[in-house]
A and B are shown apart, each in its own frame.
Chain A
Amino acid sequence: MSTDAVRMSQWPSEQPYVIPVAPGPDVATVTIDGKEVQVPRGELLIKVAQDHGTYIPRFCWHERMKPVGMCRMCLVEVEGMRGLQISCATPVTDGMVVHTQSPGVKAAQDGVLEFLLVNHPLDCPVCDRGGECPLQDQTLAFGPGESRFVEEKRHFEKPIPISETVLLDRERCIQCGRCTRFASEIAGDALIHFGGRGSGTEVMTYPDEPFSSYFAGNTVQICPVGALTASPYRFRARPWDLDSVETSCQQCAVGCRGALESTSNRLVRLLGVDLDPVNQGWLCDRGRYAYEWVHSDARVVTPRLAREGGLAEATWPQALDAAAEALRRARDEHGPDAIGVLGGARGTNEDAYAWARLAKGVLRTDNVDAQLDDGLPAEVVLGLPRASIDDLDRAAAIVIVGSDPKETLPVLYLRIRAAAEAGVPVVDVSTHDNGCTPFAACSLRHRPGEVATPVAALAEVLGGRTTGSDADRLAALVADRDGPVVVVLGRPSLAEPATAAVHAAALLAAVPAVRFLPALHRGNVHGALDLGLAPGLLPGRVTLDAGRAHVGAVWGGVPAARGLDARGILAAAADGRIRTLVLLGCDPLTDFPDRPLVERALAAVGTVVVVGAFADAAGGHADVVLPTTVWGEQDGSGTNLEGRVQRLARKVTPGGAAMEAWRIAGELAARLGVDFDLELTAEVQDEIARVAPAFAGVDAAVLRRARDGVVLPLVDHADEIAWGPAPLGAGVSWEPIPAGADAEPVPADAEAAATPTGPPAPPVALWEWRGPAEPAPTVPVDAYALRVVAARTLYGADRAVLESPSLAAFAPRDAVLLVSRTDRDRIGVADGDRVRVTSARATVELPVVADARIPQGVAFLPANRAGAGIGDLVDPDAAVTDLRVETLR
């Protein structure tokens, strides 16, 4: 007995504790309910059956998670195997004969459901899930008609909040473990777990440690009963009253696919749709709940003009005339360079294109920038070889430079994490421990401002040009792995110029088979850059000179020379060189790192035209406000960080008189004597396909039919397109039972046959950039100071968060200085104490908090916070910012 025990404990447990799922290349022939199908051997029976039109009921099994076999609902009969088998944990073998509807199976399904319902309260009339509940649906389809259970049901206190937005009803829970498995397996935040045993089993959090995961909302979506509900949606609607469209989230540049739902012209919910190459069904909570800002009371929905005593309502003709007049006066009196356009990264591709045409084609100014000095130079972003998100899964290595995807691109973080779990080595290059550090194969740390130093060494190793013990270890990780090296490249800190990051990009661009995913975060920033809302560039990833003839032929001309970027525009405005400034759906006062410069610019500039949804974007300096429709209110398309163009859908009617930004551009152009001749979104899309080289072939017809969108340029990705409309809701992750569960799979759309014959190549060669880049200066370390890293966190004082009550309620807003414990103790204060912080530029008071992720000598400033912060302390022209910290005494 004891020998056995010893042997057991020494058993090499290479075997994972779940059933391995590794469909191999071999094909197995399986007979399911008399129908013979060819399937990959080793694939799970439940999946095989589903793919071939046989729906086996299930609760615990989820396509994107490992099988666990907890609910027993998916029992089937396999000839030759004793008893019934759970099809979610049975890999198929050749010659398997399966019955999913035999009397034995039906009796088992009946029994399993009867047991599940013993403890289920059946309070469907007051349950959010009622009407779209897998338990309800499957009971109707497979369960007993009536209950034999006459005893008192168990009772728990309910609902209990397990996070800021998730409520748990333990009476309804059927212990399928989808939520707990999601938390540990997919999100990596194992903050919920089963507690107790038997009928006392319940989902629980650790006391005082709520389920504060950025991804908590997904558990509500995949819960097969109403045990988990989301406070923002709770009791807002019944499923049968909801109207739904498929669209892409625009809270960050990942562009997760979702089903946007409304009732009575109010958005009430966004559900993740399973778009295989992008979000695979998941959303982050910011994306999930930020639809609320669309209905913010702070939005402006009628045009405004500055009158004495503030902004007064005006008619569209009055406001458009005033804006056009300000633009014309600036151009005619001071030249095109007296006009600047900031923003455009939150609109659609159509908005970006029309504004690029207005600014560059009509007004001939190149002072246009969609980024607010918080990203990377557009030439670098557009000129590097682009990776797709799916490349992460097949990469030789993933290198994360200068960004924390968990904070800025949460669902990309899930994809990186999944790739790492599957064995792809992740190299995390950062100033401090971040979201990717726990699963990184190798973490390289550097001082703020010096990201190029470790990257130079890394590029040598990845290029196979150096050896040494550390290098060998890293090289061994990457060796024997085919596939690209995927670099997730972002701006390491807003407290330093982009110089070091650009240098790092140039070093990595020399690595063989390298591809980049630019970690710019703002919703449609890639669409805006692709369509020319950046200095020196024209729509379609070409420079002014390269595209002059092709684009100019349609536009009638383009600017003569490269203009100013966002910092240059604001500096020129502050100096009086820019007379009319257009703010195109941007918030420079909160988003531009150098707030004093924005304030000086807005005060100095002659006319400020706000084209957006919030009149206070310009502080009190707006002269004309042209209200725009926003995400969820207008059709169009958006481009994500891999260059995937996806359709965006209108779900609700805009309030008031708001107009699409591209239509406003057309109206202004008409007043300046140019007729865009664009009336419909589709016409803008067709013009983009004609004018913008990178969009060659991506016209309205293709966008309408490409279910998963189109990756630019089409000529390289045409064979990846999935033609045909997605059946709405089919990809939604809680898997409603498809109509006619045993029917043939829906045939591809008839239009699919009409695949374009050979996608057109871009008419102008697309811009490429591989360097060279200047190294950033190295600043000697001041041993008495802390060097600043400033970066965004997911929640903060951002417009979309502040105007979404569910997020604003718990998002941290106030500025704070995070330091290492050693540094905090050296300063001699307790967490939360205010200290006096002095940089070369200013002295402010801030609370200081110790954080285990921050190394000694570094101070982390969350960038999107209200109050004193980076806007005051950081000198954007300095290579780095050092802070002296003193106690207040």
Chain B
Amino acid sequence: MAFSGTERRRAEEIVARYPQSRSATLPLLFLVQDRDGWVTPQGIEDVADFLGLTPAVVLGTCSFYTMFKLSPVGKLVVSVCTNVSCLVNGGPQLHEHLRREYARSDDVFIEEVECLAACDRAPALQINYDFHGPLTGEQAVDLIERHRSGELTARTISGTATGGEV
């Protein structure tokens, strides 16, 4: 499987922004992440193939960045800050609460992150890279559920509005 016609046109547009095609590695990885829900081996091979790089180089680059998920994460990525301001305001407890709540969920992925630069809203979290806070455990679960039900719309798991467009 390689890029579809639409994907290929999109990829060409992205590559055209840079003097060297290699520079398009990250935006193309977002493209395949949004396509497949995570950065699959197929996605890596597609990007490598399109840019004329080896899969090893694309995987190596990809693995540097935490916003690329190399295993399935579902539809919502919830990033809970446990750095200093959030730490003293209950960030770890918030993280633990969500982790237990969604331990068996396939479409909500809870992760612990370093400072989100949202100390004024501590404890803060991001749902698909949109900021929320301060939140208690129950408020956070409620917010996530409203995203799940479709009442609220989030960005994609890559943090893009429509997928692939960064």
Which A residues lie at the B interface, using CB under 8 A? 9-14, 184, 189-197, 204-207, 209
Contacts and interface: CB of A to CB of B under 8 A. Distances in A.
A209 B55 contact: yes
A11 B17 CA distance: 10
Given A184-B57, A193-B54, A204-B63, 13 more contacts: A9-B17, A10-B17, A12-B19, A189-B54, A190-B53, A190-B56, A193-B61, A194-B60, A195-B64, A204-B56, A206-B44, A206-B54, A206-B55
Given A9-B17, A9-B18, A196 B56 contact: no
B59 A204 contact: yes
A193 B64 contact: no
A205 B19 contact: no
B42 to A, nearest CB: 13
A349 to B, nearest CB: 42
Contacts of B54: 189-191, 193, 206, 209
B60 A13 contact: no
A193 B54 CA distance: 10
Interface in B61-116: 61, 63-64
B56 A192 contact: yes
A435 to B, nearest CB: 15
Given A195-B63, A196-B64, A197-B64, A206 B56 contact: yes
Nearest to A200: B63
A195 B54 CA distance: 14
A195 B18 CA distance: 24
A591 B132 CA distance: 73
Contacts of A9: 17-18
A515 to B, nearest CB: 32
Nearest to A12: B19
A11 B20 CA distance: 11
A716 to B, nearest CB: 42
A493 B126 CA distance: 63
Contacts of B53: 190
A13 B41 CA distance: 30
Contacts of B18: 9, 13
Nearest to B53: A190
B59 A206 contact: yes
B159 to A, nearest CB: 15
A193 B19 contact: no
Given A196-B63, A207-B41, A13 B19 contact: yes
B37 to A, nearest CB: 19
Nearest to A13: B19
Given A205-B56, A206-B56, A207-B41, A13 B20 contact: yes
Interface residues of B, number: 17
Nearest to B60: A193
Interface string B32-64: 000000000100100000000111110111011
Give the one of B20, B56, B64 with max A CB within 10 A.
Answer: B56
15 contacts: A9-B17, A14-B19, A190-B54, A191-B54, A192-B56, A193-B56, A193-B57, A193-B59, A193-B60, A195-B59, A197-B63, A197-B64, A204-B59, A206-B54, A207-B41
Q: Report the 10 A-B pairs with minimum CB-CB distance, sorted nearest first.
A: A193-B60, A206-B55, A206-B56, A195-B63, A13-B19, A193-B56, A190-B54, A195-B60, A197-B64, A193-B57
B58 to A, nearest CB: 8
B10 to A, nearest CB: 16
Give the one of A190, A192, A206 with max B CB within 10 A.
Answer: A206
Give the one of B20, B61, B63 with max A CB within 10 A.
Answer: B63
A11 B19 CA distance: 8
Interface string B6-45: 0000000000011110010000000000000000010010
Contacts of B23: 13
Contacts of A197: 63-64
B57 A190 contact: yes
A4 to B, nearest CB: 15
A206 B62 CA distance: 12
Nearest to B17: A9
Contacts of A194: 60, 64
Contacts of B19: 11-14
Contacts of A204: 56, 59-60, 63
Nearest to B48: A206
Contact of B56 (A12, A13, A191): A191
Give the one of A192, A193, A204, A207 with max B CB within 10 A.
Answer: A193
Contacts of B44: 206
A14 B20 CA distance: 10
A404 to B, nearest CB: 20
A298 to B, nearest CB: 38
Contacts of A184: 57
Nearest to B61: A193
Nearest to A9: B17
A191 B56 CA distance: 5
Nearest to B63: A195
B56 A209 contact: yes
Nearest to B59: A206
A191 B59 CA distance: 11
A194 B56 CA distance: 9
Nearest to A17: B20
B27 to A, nearest CB: 10
A196 B65 CA distance: 8
Contacts of A14: 19
Nearest to A210: B56
A784 to B, nearest CB: 32
A9 B26 CA distance: 13
Contacts of B59: 193, 195, 204, 206
A658 to B, nearest CB: 45
Contacts of A13: 18-20, 23
Give the one of A14, A184, A195, A204 with max B CB within 10 A.
Answer: A195
Contacts of A190: 53-54, 56-57
A192 B57 CA distance: 7
A9 B44 CA distance: 23
A180 to B, nearest CB: 8
A742 B20 CA distance: 43
A515 B15 CA distance: 41
B38 to A, nearest CB: 15
A878 B55 CA distance: 44
A61 B22 CA distance: 24
Contacts of A209: 54-56
A205 B60 CA distance: 8
A38 B147 CA distance: 69
A722 B19 CA distance: 44
Contacts of A195: 59-60, 63-64
Contacts of A12: 19
Contacts of B41: 207
A10 B44 CA distance: 26
Contacts of A193: 54, 56-57, 59-61
A191 B60 CA distance: 10
Contacts of B55: 206, 209
A194 B58 CA distance: 10
Contacts of B60: 193-195, 204
Nearest to B44: A206
Give the one of B53, B59, B60, B61 with max A CB within 10 A.
Answer: B60
Contacts of B61: 193
A614 to B, nearest CB: 39
A7 B158 CA distance: 23
A191 B64 CA distance: 17
A728 B7 CA distance: 57
